[in-house]
Amino acid sequence: MNRLKVAVYAICKNEEMFIDRWIDSMQEADMIIVTDTGSTDGTVEKLKARGAIVYSVKVDPWRFDVARNISLSFVPRDVDVCVCTDLDEVLEPGWREKLERVWTPQTTSLKYMYTWSFNPDGSRGVTFWYNKIHRRHGFRWIHPVHEILQYYGPDPVCLAWERSINLNHYPDPTKSRGSYLPLLEMAVQESPDDDRDTHYLGREYMFRGQWDKCIETLQKHLTMPRSKWKEERSASMRYIARAYKAKGDYKEAYSWLYKAIAEAPHLREPYVELAKLAYEKEDWPTIYHMVEEALKIKERSDSYVNQSFAWDATVYDLGSLSCYYLGMFNKSYEWVKMAVEMSPHNERLKNNLAIIKAKAEANSNG
């Protein structure tokens, strides 16, 4: 097979701080094409100085899908593979060779691993399969926000998968997501039967503390005929529980977390979230039971709904506390050691370790 022609394309606005890191990681492409949507800093000049092809456009009213489709239109038609990234993302070295290895003439798009967030110790946090590498032709972007690729080409869909291609996200924490809510409301108005947009809208209401709208929207999501994906349904139930908890209704919060477990019992997240809720009520037996069940689950989901709190020291921390107050000091000591091992700089956990160790030794000697 002849060498593929690969283009990276992106949209940006006022992202001068990311340019060097981003360009460095994209250099394996044959060309880098950026659509600037109104930068007022030195973004455009710096991109050009680093060799990127830059177009300046105005998208008004703003929609991410429109901006992405404009940016895709600037990619030359003889390109074989398009790699869409954002400037706050980094592709790990060697991605081009890995792409060439799995891409075939039949491939329509390629799935790879995306680390959306990192843990404080630098290890991978929320990581899931991503799909923004695709053929030049037969694709368009849809949805005003949380936009995705839609294939409309004549050939059958043929996905390639490569777990060793890693795209890492290092966002600007000061950047506002204020435009997301009105765009999500627009998305649901445009596609009222789209379960994905409805889920995202309900989640956004949760982020904004609009608890009643969160509950109403996510309950609607659960009744939609297209709402079939159990992991996302379970997440909706967890978010409903968070909203009820914020409203002070712990009975409903408990109920919805049990529903979340029943919907996707293979996920750790609802068990640990219920343990966290039970901790606030000092409900030690429930915490212990939830931790025991959570720890039976060894495989972390590759979908975007996985959350770090279910896979870090939290579960062992909660378990050790429950055992301590239930008088199970040896088990408490076993779990707090695991918590400290996973979070060695946490002073509270280290203090707990000393207290629980003394209690366990006294209990054994007694």
User: What are the backbone dihedrals phi and psi of residue 265, each rounded to the nearest 5 degrees, phi first?
Assistant: -65, -10
* CATH of range 6-169; options 3.90.180.10, 3.40.190.170, 3.30.70.3270, 3.90.550.10: 3.90.550.10
Q: How far is CA 214 from CA 111, 201, 207, in A?
A: 31, 8, 9
- Show me where the domains of the chain are located: 6-169, 176-278
Q: Does residue 93 have a pLDDT over 80? A: yes
**Span 135-190, pLDDT tens digits:** 999 999 999 999 999 999 999 999 999 999 999 999 988 887 888 999 999 999 99
Instruction: Name the class of domain 176-278.
Output: mainly alpha
Residue with tokens 């097979």, as numbered in its chain: 1
pLDDT above 70 coverage of the chain, percent: 99
Q: 195-203 — which CB contacts under 8 Å span 24+ positions?
A: 195/221, 195/224, 195/226, 195/227, 195/228, 195/232, 196/146, 196/232, 197/143, 197/146, 198/224, 198/227, 199/227, 199/232, 199/235, 199/236, 200/145, 200/146, 202/236, 202/239, 203/235, 203/236, 203/239
Q: What is the mean pLDDT of the chain?
A: 96
pLDDT at 366: 57
CA Rg value for the chain? 24
Give residue-wise pLDDT tens across range 216-236: 999 999 999 999 999 999 999
Under 8 Å CB-to-CB from 355, ≥6 apart: which residues? none
**Per-residue pLDDT at 119:** 87
pLDDT of residue 173: 85
At 91, is the pLDDT very low, low, confident or very high (cuts 50, 70, 90)?
A: very high
127 pLDDT tier (thresholds 50, 70, 90): very high
Average pLDDT over residues 110-120: 95
* C-alpha pair distances (Å), 96 with each of 18, 26, 82, 112, 136: 21, 9, 12, 12, 16
Report the C-alpha gap between 30 and 96 in whole angstroms. Answer: 10
Q: Which of 265, 261, 289, 262 is nearest to 275 (CA)?
A: 289
312: confidence class by pLDDT, cuts 50, 70, 90? very high
Burial of 28 (0-12, 13-18, 19+ CB in 10 A): middle
Encode pLDDT of 269-298 as tens digits.
999 999 999 999 999 999 999 999 999 999
Instruction: Map 21-43 to HEC letters.
Output: HHHHHHCCCCEEEEEECCCCCCH
* Neighbouring C-alpha atoms within 13 Å toward the C-beta of 140: 6
138 neighbors 124 (Cβ within 8 angstroms): no
